[in-house]
Amino acid sequence: MAARSESAQGLVEYGLIMALTAVLTVVWLVIFGGAIADALTAIGGAIDAAAGG
C-alpha cells in the first residue's frame, strides 16, 4: 500500500511542476512578448532588405 501512496505523491508533484512551468511560461511571454515580436520584425525587415524586397 505504501508504494501506491508514494506513486500517487510523485504524480501529484509532477502535475504541480508542470502547472508551475506553464504559468511561468505564460508570464514570461506576457513580459517579453513585445520585445520578441519587435526583434523578429526587425530580423524579417533585414532579410527583406538583403533579398532586395
42: phi then psi, degrees, rounded to nearest 5: -65, -40
With the C-alpha atoms ordered 35, 38, 43, 44, is the resulting torsion angle positive or negative? positive
> Cell for 5?
501512496
Please write the tens of the pLDDT for every residue from 1-53.
Answer: 566 777 888 999 999 999 999 999 999 999 999 999 999 999 999 999 999 87
Only one residue has cell 502535475, namely: 15
52: phi then psi, degrees, rounded to nearest 5: 85, 20
Q: So what's the pLDDT on residue 1?
A: 55
DSSP labels, 19-45 = HHHHHHHHHHHHHHHHHHHHHHHHHHH
